[in-house]
């Protein structure tokens, strides 16, 4: 049976070297090259490798070689050392670069119009590359040990060194690891074929690694009195940013909390209704997250200001929906200061509509879920068999708008 161990045969003057895996089979010695490099500081005075991260990476490669040779069974006894090296080399063509795979998934997110999600994935990937110190990683080296090193010795240490106390800083631990769990699962779906015994993605790091929990910040909705104050705010016509911010905040409220990205993507307006597919979930739902809302007079008065023919002009105003949303929120921040209110964002219209609908108008929570275009997991199977009744949502929305006018 072949045996393996790490060696460092070619050391440069600065102490750096490439790691090789030495294989001994039938008293024959062969060297297998890796893509792992060390520095002088990675070794103890006695010449032993002390860098735990590199040792773990090497252990993963050796374990992988051992598993591949073990699959040969008794056949390995009839093979020469060169034949085993050739076999292992052919197996290495199954190499999957996690970094490159992640970039292809990010590109697909951009193509789907999910720029916000893509941006989050890009931040997570940049963080991992920074941790690794290189822009490639065998997906089968993405182990639980690596994850612990990444979160405990990199993400947390960076937060402490920078005194990070922001929501985004605390959330990175949970968010980034969740993203990599998704990527690993997607890679298994794409590259593994369990029925035919083809398992290229062999790691399951999250079976041993618990994703750090993150308590979501409390979503702040606005009371009806503040919604009325925003609606009735008098803004000079020359202040276009603030005017549009007020208009679109109220338009979102009048349309059951429609998201800015869905406004930006030019929803269809037909026969007195606004029809769109919610960008956040359309690729994950069998109904493509379709929504159809009656355009009440309050919404129509605002839409008329931002229409060109039968289409809104929001996508013509900004390069992308992120800039569109950012500009609206800048205007809302200015408006909040003038009205003596705490800062709020465009998304507050969505939370406010839902809160008023349930707490003040006593609308059934299931109908509110439908109006927000959410999926109630407890009712998911039932929803699949029921044809959506838009009139229920229309009546609920009208009730909320009537309450606003009291």
Which among 180, 207, 234 is the end of a domain?
207
Which among 76, 94, 112 is the end of a domain?
94
Same domain, residue pair 242 and 281: yes
Same domain, residue pair 201 and 248: no
pLDDT of residue 167: 41
Count of the separate structural domains present in the chain = 3
Establish if 342 belongs to a structural domain: yes
Same domain, residue pair 165 and 250: no
pLDDT tens series, the chain, 406 aa? 789 999 988 877 777 889 999 999 999 999 998 888 898 888 888 888 888 888 898 999 999 889 888 877 887 888 899 988 877 876 555 678 999 999 999 999 888 877 778 889 999 999 999 999 888 898 988 998 999 888 888 887 766 555 444 444 567 788 899 999 999 999 999 888 776 566 788 899 998 888 877 655 555 789 999 999 999 999 988 999 999 999 999 999 999 999 998 889 888 888 999 998 887 776 666 666 788 999 999 999 999 888 877 777 888 888 888 899 999 999 999 999 999 999 999 999 999 999 999 999 999 998 998 888 876 545 454 444 456 778 999 999 999 999 998 7
Same domain, residue pair 294 and 248: yes
pLDDT of residue 182: 94
Which among 177, 207, 237 is the end of a domain?
207
pLDDT of residue 381: 43
Same domain, residue pair 89 and 110: no
Q: Which of 348, 385, 391 is nearest to 367 (CA)?
A: 391
Establish if 203 belongs to a structural domain: yes
Establish if 216 belongs to a structural domain: no
Same domain, residue pair 185 and 110: yes
Same domain, residue pair 119 and 41: no
pLDDT of residue 382: 44
pLDDT of residue 173: 81
> Where in the sequence is the domain holding 83, given as residue range(s)?
3-94
Establish if 213 belongs to a structural domain: no
């Amino acid at each position: 049976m072949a045996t393996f161990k790490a060696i460092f045969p070619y050391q440069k003057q600065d102490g750096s070297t490439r790691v090789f895996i030495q294989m001994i089979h039938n008293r024959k010695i062969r060297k297998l090259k890796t893509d792992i490099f060390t520095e002088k500081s990675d070794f103890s005075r006695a010449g032993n490798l002390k860098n735990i991260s590199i040792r773990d990476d090497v252990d993963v490669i050796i374990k992988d070689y051992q598993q591949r040779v073990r699959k040969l069974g008794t056949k390995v006894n009839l093979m020469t050392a060169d034949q085993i090296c050739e076999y292992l080399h052919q197996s290495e063509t199954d190499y999957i670069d996690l970094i490159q795979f992640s970039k292809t998934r990010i590109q697909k997110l951009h193509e789907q119009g999910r720029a916000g999600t893509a941006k989050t994935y890009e931040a997570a990937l940049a963080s991992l590359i920074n941790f690794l110190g290189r822009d490639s990683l065998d997906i089968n080296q993405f182990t639980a040990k690596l994850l612990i090193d990444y979160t405990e010795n990199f993400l947390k240490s960076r937060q402490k060194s920078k005194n990070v106390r922001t929501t985004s800083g605390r959330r990175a631990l949970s968010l980034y690891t969740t993203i990599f769990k998704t990527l690993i699962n997607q890679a298994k779906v794409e590259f593994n074929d369990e029925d035919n015994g083809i398992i290229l993605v062999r790691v399951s790091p999250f079976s041993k690694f618990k994703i750090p929990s993150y308590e979501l910040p409390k979503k702040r909705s606005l009371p009806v009195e503040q919604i009325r104050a925003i609606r009735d705010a008098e803004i000079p016509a020359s202040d276009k940013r603030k005017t549009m911010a007020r208009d679109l905040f109220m338009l979102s409220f009048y349309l059951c909390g429609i998201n800015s990205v869905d406004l930006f993507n030019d929803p269809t307006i037909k026969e007195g209704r606004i029809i769109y597919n919610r960008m956040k979930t359309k690729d994950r739902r069998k109904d493509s997250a379709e929504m159809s809302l009656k355009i009440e007079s309050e919404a129509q008065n605002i839409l008329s200001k931002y229409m060109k023919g039968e289409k809104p002009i929001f996508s013509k105003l900004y390069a992308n929906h992120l800039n569109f949303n950012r500009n609206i929120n800048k205007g809302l921040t200015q408006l909040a200061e003038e009205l003596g209110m705490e800062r709020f964002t465009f998304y507050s219209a969505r939370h406010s509509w839902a809160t008023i609908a349930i707490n003040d108008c006593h609308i059934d929570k299931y109908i509110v879920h439908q109006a927000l275009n959410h999926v109630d997991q407890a009712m998911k199977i039932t929803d699949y068999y029921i044809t959506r009744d838009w009139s229920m949502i229309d009546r609920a929305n009208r009730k909320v708008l009537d309450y606003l006018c009291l």
